[in-house]
Every structure is written in structure tokens, then in C-alpha cells.
Amino acid sequence: MTSPALLLTFISGLTVAHYAAARPLEVDVLKEINALKAALEARDVPKVAFSARLAKDGVYGNFQDDITLTYNAVITNVGNAYNPTTGIFTAPVKGLYYFTYFAHGGRTGRIRLQLKKDGTMVADIHIHPSQTNSADNAGNAVFLELEQGNQVYLTLVANSAIWGQGFATTFSGVLLSKS
């Protein structure tokens, strides 16, 4: 709880103790104090933001099955909600989040990445190889309302690949507001 919220809790407690037999005016004041306390607590939004990239150099993919990508080179992980070992972001609080992801093809052929929330696809990038373009790039972004504990991650779809070298293939997310 923040210092202003603690102060309002203290004042609220004193008001209740002093006006145990509250008259209508004091009841209104008490309601206003409690509403201010609730508003301050709702503003107490934790800092949650991450960005990560693939640490593996070169082509990554062309597997027979879909896999969860592990963006294991963490750029930032404020709040530690992203797990670089599993590649999964777990929402620490209920709120509105923003996610972005980008992929570089680097002559890998077909690129296909799906952003999933608890196993359900919510965004997709899909590029077919061409004879004239040797290095495709793709990206997508989405706002998601998440409950505490929801998981968000990227799936590399079977028989597709990405290029992992450098900083072109990334996954990022941030909490915008707490619900």
C-alpha cells in the first residue's frame, strides 16, 4: 500500500472511531474518504515491462511440431513477469497489457509466429518465401485484457523458421493499466 493510501486508511480509522454514532453528514464524509482511498489504491500500478530476443544465432525452426519460442536474451524484465527459460509471460495483476513481436526471416523460407493467450491464438504473422525477396521481416502487436495468472507466449508454427541472430527477432510486453 502506498503512503497516501496508508494515510487515508489512518484518517478513515480515526473518523470511524470519533464518529461511532455518526450523523448523516459524517456518513457522507466517511464515504468520500473511503472512495478517495479506493481511488489511490487503484492507481498503485506495479511496473511490468519486458523485452527479449533470441540468443541463438542463425536459422531457428523448421520443426515438425509447433514450439513455444524461448526469447532467452533478456533486454529488460521489470517486474520479472517474463520467464526466459520457458518463453512465457505470466500476468502478475489483472489489467490492460500491450504486446509486440517481430521476426526476421533471413532466407529461412516461411515465417509463421502466433501470439497466444493461455493456448488460444490472438495474433499472427505469416510470410511465404519468394524468389525476389531474400530477407523478410514481419511484426504484429495487440492489446490484451488479462486476468492475474494468464499466460502469453509465442509459438513458432511447424515447418516455419526465423533468423535468431542480432536484435531483429524480439518479443515485448508492458502493463498499461491495472483493472
pLDDT at residue 7 tops 50: no
Distance linking the first and last C-alpha atoms of the chain:
16
Closest to 106 (Cα-Cα) out of 56, 153, 66: 56
Pairwise CA distance, residues 25 & 14, whole Å: 16
According to the model, what pLDDT value does residue 31 have? 77
Handedness of CA 50, 53, 54, 59 (dihedral sign): positive
Record the cell numbers describing residue 119, joined without a space: 493456448
According to the model, what pLDDT value does residue 165 have? 72
For the chain, the maximum distance between any two Cα atoms, rounded to a whole number of angstroms, is 83
Question: Strands 111-117, 151-156: parallel, antiparallel or unpaired by DSSP?
Answer: antiparallel
According to the model, what pLDDT value does residue 152 have? 98
Could you report the per-residue pLDDT of 14-63, keeping only the tens digit for each? 455 454 454 566 667 777 777 777 666 666 778 999 999 988 888 888 89
What is the architecture, at CATH level 2, of domain 49-178?
Sandwich (2.60)
List helix spans (H) across 46-162.
none
Pairwise CA distance, residues 17 & 14, whole Å: 5
28 in Cβ contact with 113 (< 8 Å): no
Enumerate the domain spans of the chain. 3-43, 49-178
Record the cell numbers describing residue 144, joined without a space: 490484451
DSSP-based three-state secondary structure for 43? helix
What's the pTM?
A: 0.75
Could you report the per-residue pLDDT of 83-126, keeping only the tens digit for each? 999 999 999 999 999 999 999 876 657 889 999 999 999 999 98
Mean pLDDT lowest for which of 3-7, 114-118, 159-163?
A: 3-7
Record the cell numbers describing residue 172, joined without a space: 515485448
Backbone angles phi, psi at 54, to 5 degrees: -80, 135
